[in-house]
Amino acid sequence: MFEGLGNLVTTLFEGLDLRRRWLAIIVFGVLVVLSLLLFEQLTGTIYYSSLERRTELLKELNALEKEGNISSNPELKRVYDQTVQELSLRPIRPFGFPSVGFVSSVTFWKVISGAAVGLLFATVALLQFQKSSTNALTGAVGFAVIAGFIGGLLPVIYYPWINYIGFPIAQILFFTVIGRRTRTPS
Protein backbone atom coordinates (compact mmCIF):
# COMPACT_ATOMS: atom_id res chain seq x y z
CA MET A 1 0.00 0.00 0.00
CA PHE A 2 2.71 2.49 0.99
CA GLU A 3 4.75 1.53 -2.08
CA GLY A 4 1.87 2.59 -4.33
CA LEU A 5 1.54 5.88 -2.44
CA GLY A 6 5.28 6.44 -2.77
CA ASN A 7 5.09 5.79 -6.52
CA LEU A 8 2.19 8.26 -6.81
CA VAL A 9 4.13 10.96 -4.95
CA THR A 10 7.23 10.29 -7.06
CA THR A 11 5.20 10.54 -10.26
CA LEU A 12 3.55 13.79 -9.17
CA PHE A 13 6.82 15.48 -8.25
CA GLU A 14 9.01 13.91 -10.95
CA GLY A 15 9.34 16.96 -13.20
CA LEU A 16 9.87 19.48 -10.41
CA ASP A 17 13.18 20.85 -9.25
CA LEU A 18 14.06 20.78 -5.55
CA ARG A 19 12.57 24.18 -4.66
CA ARG A 20 9.27 23.52 -6.39
CA ARG A 21 9.10 20.05 -4.87
CA TRP A 22 9.50 21.49 -1.36
CA LEU A 23 6.93 24.18 -2.14
CA ALA A 24 4.46 21.51 -3.34
CA ILE A 25 5.08 19.39 -0.22
CA ILE A 26 4.54 22.38 2.08
CA VAL A 27 1.35 23.43 0.25
CA PHE A 28 0.08 19.83 0.39
CA GLY A 29 0.84 19.63 4.14
CA VAL A 30 -0.93 22.92 4.82
CA LEU A 31 -3.97 21.75 2.85
CA VAL A 32 -4.11 18.48 4.82
CA VAL A 33 -3.88 20.29 8.16
CA LEU A 34 -6.51 22.85 7.16
CA SER A 35 -8.79 20.05 5.94
CA LEU A 36 -8.49 18.23 9.26
CA LEU A 37 -9.15 21.43 11.21
CA LEU A 38 -12.17 22.21 9.06
CA PHE A 39 -13.43 18.64 9.53
CA GLU A 40 -13.19 19.04 13.32
CA GLN A 41 -14.83 22.46 13.12
CA LEU A 42 -17.78 21.02 11.19
CA THR A 43 -18.23 17.67 12.94
CA GLY A 44 -16.77 18.10 16.44
CA THR A 45 -15.51 14.51 16.41
CA ILE A 46 -12.72 15.07 18.94
CA TYR A 47 -14.91 17.33 21.11
CA TYR A 48 -17.77 14.82 21.38
CA SER A 49 -15.38 11.94 21.92
CA SER A 50 -13.75 13.77 24.83
CA LEU A 51 -17.14 14.71 26.23
CA GLU A 52 -18.29 11.10 26.01
CA ARG A 53 -15.18 9.83 27.84
CA ARG A 54 -15.63 12.43 30.59
CA THR A 55 -19.31 11.54 31.02
CA GLU A 56 -18.52 7.83 31.31
CA LEU A 57 -15.79 8.52 33.86
CA LEU A 58 -18.12 10.69 35.94
CA LYS A 59 -20.82 7.98 35.82
CA GLU A 60 -18.37 5.36 37.06
CA LEU A 61 -17.04 7.63 39.81
CA ASN A 62 -20.58 8.49 40.89
CA ALA A 63 -21.52 4.79 41.01
CA LEU A 64 -18.46 4.02 43.17
CA GLU A 65 -19.34 6.90 45.53
CA LYS A 66 -22.93 5.66 45.89
CA GLU A 67 -21.71 2.15 46.76
CA GLY A 68 -19.66 3.61 49.59
CA ASN A 69 -16.39 2.04 48.42
CA ILE A 70 -14.62 5.37 48.15
CA SER A 71 -15.60 6.86 51.51
CA SER A 72 -14.34 3.85 53.44
CA ASN A 73 -10.88 3.83 51.85
CA PRO A 74 -8.82 7.03 52.41
CA GLU A 75 -6.48 6.32 49.47
CA LEU A 76 -9.38 5.87 47.08
CA LYS A 77 -11.01 9.01 48.51
CA ARG A 78 -7.86 11.01 47.74
CA VAL A 79 -7.69 9.68 44.15
CA TYR A 80 -11.44 10.31 43.73
CA ASP A 81 -11.12 13.93 44.92
CA GLN A 82 -8.10 14.57 42.67
CA THR A 83 -9.90 13.11 39.66
CA VAL A 84 -13.07 15.13 40.24
CA GLN A 85 -10.98 18.27 40.76
CA GLU A 86 -9.01 17.67 37.56
CA LEU A 87 -12.22 17.06 35.60
CA SER A 88 -13.67 20.33 36.86
CA LEU A 89 -10.46 22.32 36.15
CA ARG A 90 -10.08 21.11 32.55
CA PRO A 91 -13.22 22.07 30.64
CA ILE A 92 -13.78 20.59 27.22
CA ARG A 93 -14.33 23.23 24.58
CA PRO A 94 -15.30 22.69 20.98
CA PHE A 95 -12.65 23.60 18.45
CA GLY A 96 -12.95 26.99 16.85
CA PHE A 97 -10.58 28.99 14.72
CA PRO A 98 -9.14 31.56 17.13
CA SER A 99 -9.07 34.47 14.71
CA VAL A 100 -12.67 34.26 13.52
CA GLY A 101 -13.38 37.84 14.66
CA PHE A 102 -10.33 39.15 12.83
CA VAL A 103 -10.93 37.10 9.69
CA SER A 104 -14.53 38.27 9.51
CA SER A 105 -13.55 41.94 9.79
CA VAL A 106 -13.85 44.20 6.77
CA THR A 107 -10.32 45.55 7.26
CA PHE A 108 -8.78 42.07 7.05
CA TRP A 109 -10.44 41.37 3.71
CA LYS A 110 -9.52 44.83 2.39
CA VAL A 111 -5.87 44.05 3.21
CA ILE A 112 -6.09 40.63 1.53
CA SER A 113 -7.75 42.04 -1.59
CA GLY A 114 -5.18 44.83 -1.73
CA ALA A 115 -2.31 42.36 -1.54
CA ALA A 116 -3.88 39.84 -3.93
CA VAL A 117 -2.31 41.18 -7.12
CA GLY A 118 1.16 41.35 -5.55
CA LEU A 119 0.75 37.84 -4.13
CA LEU A 120 -0.27 36.62 -7.57
CA PHE A 121 2.89 38.14 -9.05
CA ALA A 122 4.95 36.61 -6.23
CA THR A 123 3.46 33.17 -6.93
CA VAL A 124 4.27 33.46 -10.64
CA ALA A 125 7.82 34.61 -9.82
CA LEU A 126 8.22 31.71 -7.38
CA LEU A 127 7.03 29.14 -9.90
CA GLN A 128 9.37 30.60 -12.54
CA PHE A 129 12.19 30.69 -9.99
CA GLN A 130 15.54 31.41 -11.54
CA LYS A 131 18.36 33.64 -10.38
CA SER A 132 17.05 36.49 -12.51
CA SER A 133 13.55 36.25 -11.00
CA THR A 134 14.75 36.81 -7.41
CA ASN A 135 14.35 40.55 -7.89
CA ALA A 136 10.87 40.00 -9.33
CA LEU A 137 9.90 37.90 -6.31
CA THR A 138 11.24 40.52 -3.89
CA GLY A 139 9.46 43.30 -5.75
CA ALA A 140 6.18 41.39 -5.86
CA VAL A 141 6.25 40.64 -2.12
CA GLY A 142 7.14 44.28 -1.39
CA PHE A 143 4.31 45.44 -3.61
CA ALA A 144 1.89 43.02 -1.88
CA VAL A 145 2.81 44.42 1.54
CA ILE A 146 2.45 48.06 0.45
CA ALA A 147 -0.77 47.45 -1.52
CA GLY A 148 -2.23 45.44 1.39
CA PHE A 149 -1.44 48.30 3.77
CA ILE A 150 -3.03 50.84 1.43
CA GLY A 151 -6.02 48.56 0.90
CA GLY A 152 -6.56 48.35 4.65
CA LEU A 153 -6.48 52.14 4.95
CA LEU A 154 -8.93 52.80 2.10
CA PRO A 155 -12.39 53.83 3.31
CA VAL A 156 -15.32 51.58 2.45
CA ILE A 157 -16.91 52.81 -0.76
CA TYR A 158 -20.67 52.21 -0.34
CA TYR A 159 -20.23 48.47 0.27
CA PRO A 160 -17.10 46.50 1.30
CA TRP A 161 -17.29 44.24 -1.74
CA ILE A 162 -16.65 47.28 -3.95
CA ASN A 163 -13.29 47.64 -2.18
CA TYR A 164 -12.60 43.89 -2.40
CA ILE A 165 -13.10 43.86 -6.18
CA GLY A 166 -12.36 47.47 -7.15
CA PHE A 167 -8.91 47.88 -5.61
CA PRO A 168 -7.36 44.82 -7.32
CA ILE A 169 -8.95 45.86 -10.62
CA ALA A 170 -7.51 49.36 -10.18
CA GLN A 171 -4.06 47.82 -9.59
CA ILE A 172 -4.33 45.68 -12.74
CA LEU A 173 -5.43 48.72 -14.77
CA PHE A 174 -2.52 50.70 -13.31
CA PHE A 175 -0.03 48.01 -14.36
CA THR A 176 -1.63 47.79 -17.80
CA VAL A 177 -1.26 51.54 -18.34
CA ILE A 178 2.32 51.57 -17.01
CA GLY A 179 3.16 48.55 -19.18
CA ARG A 180 1.86 50.28 -22.31
CA ARG A 181 3.83 53.44 -21.58
CA THR A 182 7.08 51.53 -21.14
CA ARG A 183 6.60 49.63 -24.42
CA THR A 184 5.68 52.68 -26.47
CA PRO A 185 8.76 54.15 -28.21
CA SER A 186 9.42 57.83 -27.45
CA-CA distance, 186 to 183, in Å (whole number)? 9
Spatial contact of 87 and 54, defined as CB atoms under 8 Å apart: yes
By CB neighbour count within 10 A (0-12 exposed, 13-18 middle, 19+ buried), where does 105 fall?
A: middle
Q: Model's pTM, two decimal places?
A: 0.42
Please report whether residue 94 resides in a domain. Answer: no
CA distance linking residue 71 with residue 80, whole number of Å: 9
Boundary of a domain, candidates 63, 89, 115 = 89
Alpha helices in 104-133 (DSSP H): 106-127
Q: Residue 102 — pLDDT band, cuts 50, 70, 90? A: low
Identify whether residues 81 and 17 lie together within a single domain. Answer: yes
**Mean pLDDT of the 62-73 span:** 76
Closest CA to 120 of 177, 181, 178, 169: 169
Same domain, yes or no, for 151 and 72? no
Both 77 and 121 in one domain: the answer is: no
CB atoms within 10 A of CB 69: 13
pLDDT tens-digit series, residues 9-60: 666 667 667 776 777 777 777 778 878 877 777 777 887 887 788 788 778 8
- Which domain, by its residues, includes 104? 100-183
Residue type, 2: F
Residue that is last in its domain, among 89, 123, 143: 89
